[in-house]
Amino acid sequence: MSFKIGDVEVEDTFAEAFPMYATRLLITALNDRWALTAARVTTGFATSIIMSPAEAGLERLLPPEKTPDKRVGALIHIYHRSVPELKLQTIVRAGQCILTCPTTALFDGIPRSKRKMHIGEALAKFGDGFEVKDAMYGKTVWRIPVMEGEFIVEDAVGVVKAVAGGNFFILASSREAALEAAEKAVEEISSRCRNVVLPFPGGIVRSGSKVGSIKYPKLAATTNHLYCPTIRDKVPDTKIPEGVRSVMEIVINGLDVESVTKAVGVGVMAACSVKGVVKITAGNYGGKLGPYKIYLKDSVELAKSP
């Protein structure tokens, strides 16, 4: 079963997503350059929990009028399987990548969240006894002396039960068309969607994986051979239609199911507008990987809503 968006076939299937815990951090800095520098370094080596120590990404920039200290801000997300692991990753990434970055400060990006992780006191120990707990911008913060001046970090940041692994595949007649469609999908998701991040490089996955291995039983994940065009003739149950020579995947994590669902739809619609895209589908394991089923048809309908 499938439906059409323009000339592109969209398989009537679902992306299988799974639960994780997430925090959302607001990094402020003197200007865009340093806010983005801190955000990108902090979210590095965080594509997939399969082998990375966390999953993370940049959501968007905020203008000064929407941040506590009236400086430009960058919202980032960090995801993990458990709250203790998430807290550790948040502390080490903030300590090594935000505290060290010129002009930055760090605030809670989910102030409405009832569950909090107290990270400020741990980070404040870098102050070696010269740190000060204080009230600023209507928040409880730590002021940590550094050579540049002071690093301000909010004492506690929010934690929510989140969703990881929302996805869709772009099947195209050439690598150029697949990449153009993936880039357009990333651009639209980044500009239109909130509460989501795309954790892979540039928001795009060229090496989608499957659970386990056919040949190497100790590996947790290996190449998704069903969607590899260069071995189409060697795979009896290949999913590659005639004329498809490249496949790109978009993976989306978000703070809630609705946000991920909408982002999938926005991305699918954007990808379908590119010449050379043959088909859109999604990755799932029949519901064995995670409890969230994000149907492509539902996601497209949600993306059409205001």
Q: Where in the chain is the domain with CATH 3.30.70.520?
A: 2-16+162-304, 21-160
Residue 288's pLDDT band (cuts 50, 70, 90): confident
Q: Residue 289 contacts by C-beta under 8 Å, 6 or more apart in sequence?
A: 16, 18, 165, 211
What average pLDDT does the chain have?
Answer: 97
Share of the chain above pLDDT 70, in %: 100
Specify the fold of 21-160: Alpha-Beta Plaits (3.30.70)
What is the reported pLDDT for 290?
Answer: 86
Q: Tell me how far apart the alpha carbons of residues 155 and 106 are, in angstroms, rounded to a whole number.
A: 9
Residue 160's pLDDT band (cuts 50, 70, 90): very high
DSSP 117-152: EE-HHHHHGGGTT--EEEEETTEEEEEEE-SSSEEE
Q: Closest Cα to residue 121, out of 138, 144, 96, 148?
A: 144
Q: What is the dihedral of CA 291, 215, 51, 286, to 10 degrees?
A: -10
| Residue 76: pLDDT over 80 | yes
What is the reported pLDDT for 79?
Answer: 98
What is the reported pLDDT for 1?
Answer: 87
List the CATH code of the domain at 2-16+162-304: 3.30.70.520
| Residue 274: pLDDT over 90 | yes
Residue with tokens 């940590």: 144
What residues does 4 pair with on adjacent strands? 9
Q: Per residue in 108-147, pLDDT tens? A: 999 999 999 999 999 999 999 999 999 999 999 999 999 9
What is the reported pLDDT for 247?
Answer: 98
Q: Closest Cα to residue 253, out of 39, 7, 47, 93?
A: 47
Beta pairing, strands 105-108 & 14-29: antiparallel
- Single-letter residue type at 288: K
Q: Per residue in 77-95, pLDDT tens? A: 999 999 999 999 999 999 9
| Residue 209: pLDDT over 90 | yes
pTM: 0.96
- Residue 98 tokens, joined: 């935000």
What is the reported pLDDT for 12?
Answer: 97
What is the reported pLDDT for 285?
Answer: 83
Residue 125's CB is within 10 A of a number of other CB atoms, namely 12
Share of the chain above pLDDT 90, in %: 97
Give phi and psi for 260, each to the nearest 5.
-65, -40
What is the reported pLDDT for 287?
Answer: 77
| Residue 218: pLDDT over 90 | yes
Residue 208's pLDDT band (cuts 50, 70, 90): very high
